[in-house]
A = this chain, B = another copy of it.
Amino acid sequence: MTEVILMNFRPCYLFDDLTDKHVNQIISITREITVKKGQRIFTEDEEATALYIIEEGTVELMTKIEDDFEMPITILRNPGDCFGTSALIEPHIYSLSARCVADGALLGIERSALQQLMMKDHEVGCTIMRNLAQHYLDRLKQTRQELKIHFRTLFRSVHS
């Protein structure tokens, strides 16, 4: 059981550069959750109480554009892909919604247990927070890139 979890933990960017000892400490506070196609894991603006890692299946992350329209932001389908990371950041509010688009299994880690572990061992905290900052910066650059496309189109239409 622990070995199966370890196999799906290792590709997760959050745990890059952690020692096996530290990864095993995190595995000890992890639970497996079976999920069904169509199941909503959490909704944007709710309190973020846990983060999740894909063991098997596909999860779509979305943001609300109108009351009846959620825009897809990304699809996660690889074991080790993780989501719900705003659980680690104050004010602990999910910034997107997550829904399963196929039956599968997730690994869930409660915020309070992980925070306790990171406070007790600052090396773990430093590594996870560095990995998280790196991930957010990558996402920020991608999102700016999408905005640039809109502005470039506008700039060209004004200057053509």
Please give the residue numbers on chain A whose beta carbons come within 8 Å of chain B beta carbons, in ascending order: 63, 65-66, 69, 71, 73, 86, 88-90, 95, 118, 122-123, 125-126, 129-130, 132-134, 136-137, 139-141, 143-144, 146-148, 150-152, 155-156
Q: A125-B126, A143-B144, A147-B150 are in contact. List 7 more A-B contacts (CB 8 A).
A: A63-B148, A65-B148, A65-B152, A66-B155, A73-B144, A86-B137, A95-B141
27 inter-chain pairs at a CB distance below 8 angstroms, sorted by A residue, are A63-B144, A63-B148, A65-B152, A65-B155, A66-B155, A66-B156, A69-B155, A71-B148, A88-B133, A89-B130, A89-B134, A89-B137, A118-B126, A122-B122, A122-B123, A122-B125, A129-B130, A133-B133, A133-B136, A136-B136, A136-B140, A139-B140, A140-B140, A143-B143, A143-B147, A146-B147, A147-B147
